[in-house]
A = this chain, B = another copy of it.
Amino acid sequence: MVGPREVRQQIREGKWRQPTAGLAPGFVQTNLVILPRVLAFDFLLFAQRNPKPCPVIEVTDVGSPEPRRSAPGADLRTDVPKYCIYRDGQLAGEVTDLASVWRDDLVSFLLGCSFTFESALVQAGVPVRHIEEGRNVPMFITNIPCDPAGVFQGPLVVTMRPIPAALVARAIQITGRYPGVHGSPVHIGNPVEIGIWDLAKPDFGDAVTIRQGEVSVFWACGVTPQAVAMQARPPLMLTHAPGHMFITDLRNEELAAS
């Protein structure tokens, strides 16, 4: 079994350019949002006020590309397989390292992603449909406003997983153990109430099969902070490319609530 350091090394050397799902099993993978210092307080405050969509795993020191708490020795400029560069809120390019755009005033935010709780669900015998069907998780923009902070505001984005009715309580308990990666669901069973009119037409990702007797369960999604940041049109924002996450040295169990 290859550990997170070895995987990051492969990525750094350009030997792995694919999505990271399934790599370094058991270790926490994160979303990455990098913003100039001048926006960092508002963004951290947004995360503090909206912990379900924005669970903070680590925030680096200003200008430092090393997440020294969750992955000492790693370099956030090179250790993600693919990055997106946004200028004034518009995608300006995709790159495989950030050397050419790095600045000393950048602050990096590592935010929890749902891989951690999905592996806990699977281990507990709760089916995760998009994994079974080999698709991307369906994501929807809701009518629930996030609690704004400074320049950052916008609606909550959620993921949907259909769960057999008898397993819903278990799915809530399991994901509730992981507040550091979105935690318990934000809504259960009535999509219209949160502004979702057609489960077959997700705003991002792929639709999945919902079987008879299954309940649609909605969790806060890490796309939220990225969408909200984009909407604020920052002069420069750097992120991981979708599915191409940063892999930390933290074990999934370290994120479980005591």
Interface residues of A (CB under 8 A from B): 37, 40-41, 44-45, 48-49, 56, 59, 61-62, 69, 147, 149-150, 176, 179, 184, 257-258
- Residues of the B chain whose Cβ atoms lie less than 8 Å from the Cβ of A147: 69
Would you give 21 A-B contacts (Cβ < 8 Å), ordered by A? A37-B41, A40-B41, A41-B41, A41-B44, A44-B44, A44-B45, A44-B48, A45-B59, A48-B48, A48-B56, A48-B59, A49-B59, A49-B69, A61-B149, A61-B150, A62-B150, A69-B147, A176-B258, A179-B257, A184-B258, A257-B257
- Residues of the B chain whose Cβ atoms lie less than 8 Å from the Cβ of A258: 176, 184
Query: In the complex, what residue of chain B is closest to A40 when comparing beta carbons?
Result: B41
How many copies are assembled? 2
Min CB gap A46→B, angstroms = 11
- Starting from the known contacts A48-B48, A49-B69, A61-B150, 10 additional A-B residue pairs (CB-CB under 8 Å) come to A40-B41, A41-B41, A44-B44, A48-B59, A49-B59, A61-B149, A62-B150, A69-B147, A176-B258, A184-B258
